[in-house]
Structure 1
Amino acid sequence: MLTDVKMRALLADPPTTRMELPDGSIPGLYLRVGPTRHPTWTFRYVVKGANGTTSRGTKLAGRKFYRLTLGIYPYVSLREARAKAALMIADIEQGINPANEIERQAEAETSAIYTINMLADAYMETHVSPRLKSERTAKWVFKEFIRPKWGDRSPEGITKQEVTKELDRLLSRKSKAAAIETRKWLSSMLNWAVDSGRIQFNPLIGIKAPARFTARERVLSMAEARAVWAVAGEMGYPSGTLVQLLMLTACRLREIASVQTSWVDTVNSCIVVPGKSYKTGDLTVVALVPRALDILNNLPKHEDGDFLISSTNGYRPLYTVTPSALKKLKDDSQKRLGRVMDHWTLHDLRRTVATHMARLSVDEILIERVLGHRIGGVRAVYNRYRYLEEKRAALALWTVELLPSSGPDGGSRYEPANDDQPWVQGSLFQASFEG
């Protein structure tokens, strides 16, 4: 009789050729084992009155055996395999062929009417969620663009024309990235639905992806950056605070927005971002200059969660600045500056910090480390604080430029270079910046 002890031994030392081991407890239940290390449960049976024997037990000519696969051990345990086989035996005694039942169920599932929302739920759970790097982007694209537009619709009723029209609409709003991601994730989900038998065809076949967007080059001048900093300070918590921390750390928006109490290391003056919350998937240490640490230390205390920058008392992070708040930030910055500013985004602040650090002669590899980009070689956990002081020194140079009243340690005054030089052209580092 099969036992878990015997089967674990087979996993550790599989046979060199394929074997079928009878369970010994449930008739017809076997474990197929071989050198692949994937033992598979199978169930062999003959149905009364179904090509095997009559209801009285008389053998029929053309006796037919059926074999069904019940799953792979240990994902399907011995107990679960026996339970499945026992249920099938009960059906067989009633003249019911389990294979026919499985086929009918599959046909019913294929003919079921799935909506985009139903497919998206299943797709996220079974296909996307295990891929931590892409899960966050996928959730955002489905929430913002796919579900609102087609959520209650059957995918087989969606036409190429309307998808193309929606992508064109996104492009007309200068949302090329949104158009690219919408087409990518919608098409991927529908291909998955076809492969899994949920729908018959993908209506997006033949729709070309929007042209890849080119890297933005917008870099704020020092005068523009100082205006944005001042207005963000006037706006205060949470949106203004979020913007100021972006400018002091050169982080991506979601990385700062997601900061939790446990991430802040006040002893070493840094933020330790877990790999699952960072774009590269690596644990990353963000250096904090004294002004940034002071901002974090003086944030409101929340009772409903650990997120430091939140409009829900810490329960959820403030993942973005609202359109109205961003408009106020831009409008008031222009008023303070006394002139119209070219279009810029919050992500341009990250490029701005990097470009001005390059102008201040910060080593390009060090700038890459400040930005959290992957550097060749092994990045072990025990090296998590490596280059922390160097990164802090680089950010301190930038902070002195941004806030002339502060010095390297937040005290002495420093006179910056040409305040309103655009720095969009001529920076070798800026030209290669990709995020």
Structure 2
Amino acid sequence: MPKAAITKRTVDAAKPSERDQFIWDIDVAGFGLKVTPAGGKVYVFQYRMARPGEAARTAAKRYTIGKHGKLTADQARSRARELAAMVEMGTDPRQAEIDAFAAIEAEKTAKAERVRLETELAFDRAADTWLEYYEHEKGRRPASVRQARLIVANHLKPALGSKPMPHIDRSDLQPILDSIPAKQKATKRAVFAYASILFGWAAKRGMINGNPLTAMERPSPPDARKRVLTDAELADTFRATQDCRTPFGAFFRLLILTGQRRSEVAGMEWSELDRASAVWTIPAERAKNKAAHIVPLSAPVLEELDRLAGVKGQEKQNWPVSGFVLTTTGENAISGISKAKLALDAAIEKARDGEALAAWRIHDLRRTLATGLQRLGVRFEVTEAVLNHVSGAKSGVAGVYQQHDWKDEKRSALEAWARHVSSILNPAPAKNVAHLRPAIS
């Protein structure tokens, strides 16, 4: 192969041929110029690496320094000397370049992952995405969606913030549960349940390797509530609803008379009601057990709805065909039920001359109706049907084959309950009783 001092003159004078031609520098060993058949001129460096512990060298390797024009001959020679020094030190220039490129790519990947951890995988952002999925993809009940949003906003986000999901483990989640007072068992259990659903969803999407809550102890369930209002307490409560602002008084009275869930009554729509047949049909998507539910309407309930519709006493009592029954805006169902409950408690206490009612919850009205129906001699299966419970007589195999809807029995039960409520509100006067004197001997 021809050798010459590789200078600008040498490079400019080099001519292409049918094959690659090489000119090797007489000064720096391995430094050369490659001339391609197309006339391209490229500076190269050719070298051999000694095997570790051996004097023998491996096959020659060729490193491309760069094209003539982008580099001058002197710049290329200087780079060749640097490469020769690397080889002398035992560093393979080509491998070093590969390693450098790999390091750059690794840094790019790491940077992209850091960005992903700070954005897509940040807890607050992932939680918002999950809430949208939870509400719309699964078609959850509004009450369940509201609770999920409250738990994320009040318990999870304040503690976890924007911490990357893959970096969250039991040591982050346990303090959240421990911060909830021990007496608030229902809250603690709800936070655990919704957090488990959220992290399970994230695991299925590949955001995290596994759900950290599966290895955590599930909080104990709250003690079963047994609070049932006595007839006197129920009467005081019913009367006090008259002092609640519209439409919350009607809301509480409908709860007492129908025994349905607070979310179902609060979200009642005119389209679900049929005055002619005196029936309220709760659609499956609004029912807790996802089963459409027929609620016969007793006479007091019809009167309550007539008042809400503004047709009480009119010759034609036609209800609206759309919209929410209980609303303060005309567009949305009522909210602020907790505040309304506090106002009702205050009204009850005032009516009882400052004596507060023993602690009770809205759900206790439902239990009160169920207990009342039992006292009235209503069959257990009918009570379950009134409450739309899929348990007891309607669960398991029995639920598959027993398809009776108990519509007539439910109507009789709710009418009997309405009469009972009316009787405790307007007790009949005591009849005169003649007391006989004992005979005198």
Q: Do the structures match in fold with TM over 0.5?
A: yes
Q: What are the equivalent positions in structure 2 for 1:258-337 lying under 5 Å apart?
A: 258-299=267-308, 306-313=323-330, 315-319=331-335, 321-323=337-339, 325-337=340-352
CA contact (8 A) 2:131 2:149 kept: no
Amino acid aligned to 1:307: F
Superposition TM-score, scaled by structure 1 size = 0.60
Unaligned ranges ≥5, structure 1: 1-102, 408-412, 417-435
- More contact order relative to length (CA 8 Å, sep ≥ 6): 1
User: Residue 191 of structure 1: which of 157, 176, 200 is its match?
Assistant: 200
- C-alpha distance in 1 between matches for 2:323 and 2:416: 31
Aligned partner of 1:388 in structure 2 is 407
The number of aligned residues is 301
Unaligned ranges ≥5, structure 2: 1-108, 311-318, 431-441
- C-alpha distance in 2 between matches for 1:196 and 1:235: 48
- C-alpha distance in 2 between matches for 1:335 and 1:233: 13
Aligned partner of 2:9 in structure 1 is none
Measured against aligned partners, the alpha-carbon deviations of 1:174-210 in whole angstroms (never above 9, x if no partner) come to 5422221211111221232234232456554643221
The answer as to 2:145 corresponding to 1:139 is yes
CA contact (8 A) 2:188 2:219 kept: yes
Amino acid aligned to 1:400: R
Check 1:245–1:218 CA distance in 2 against 1; reply closer, same or farther (3 A cut): same
Q: Give the match's secondary structure for 1:292.
A: helix
Aligned partner of 2:217 in structure 1 is 208
For residue 292 of structure 1, report the CA deviation from its aligned partner: 0.6
- C-alpha distance in 2 between matches for 1:363 and 1:201: 48
- C-alpha distance in 1 between matches for 2:163 and 2:141: 23
Q: What are the equivalent positions in structure 2 for 1:166-245 lying under 5 Å apart?
A: 166-172=176-182, 174-199=183-208, 204=213, 206-245=215-254
- C-alpha distance in 1 between matches for 2:293 and 2:336: 21
Check 1:359–1:177 CA distance in 2 against 1; reply closer, same or farther (3 A cut): same
Aligned partner of 1:42 in structure 2 is none
Structure of greater Rg: 2
Q: CA RMSD in A?
A: 3.5
- C-alpha distance in 1 between matches for 2:164 and 2:196: 11
Superposition TM-score, scaled by structure 2 size = 0.60
CA contact (8 A) 1:231 1:332 kept: yes
Amino acid aligned to 2:151: F
Aligned partner of 2:26 in structure 1 is none
Check 1:135–1:246 CA distance in 2 against 1; reply closer, same or farther (3 A cut): closer
Check 1:389–1:234 CA distance in 2 against 1; reply closer, same or farther (3 A cut): farther
Check 1:275–1:327 CA distance in 2 against 1; reply closer, same or farther (3 A cut): same
CA contact (8 A) 2:118 2:164 kept: no
Aligned partner of 1:60 in structure 2 is none
Aligned partner of 1:6 in structure 2 is none
Amino acid aligned to 2:363: H
Aligned partner of 1:52 in structure 2 is none
Amino acid aligned to 1:181: A
Aligned partner of 1:424 in structure 2 is none
CA contact (8 A) 1:238 1:309 kept: yes
Aligned partner of 2:264 in structure 1 is 255
Amino acid aligned to 2:383: I
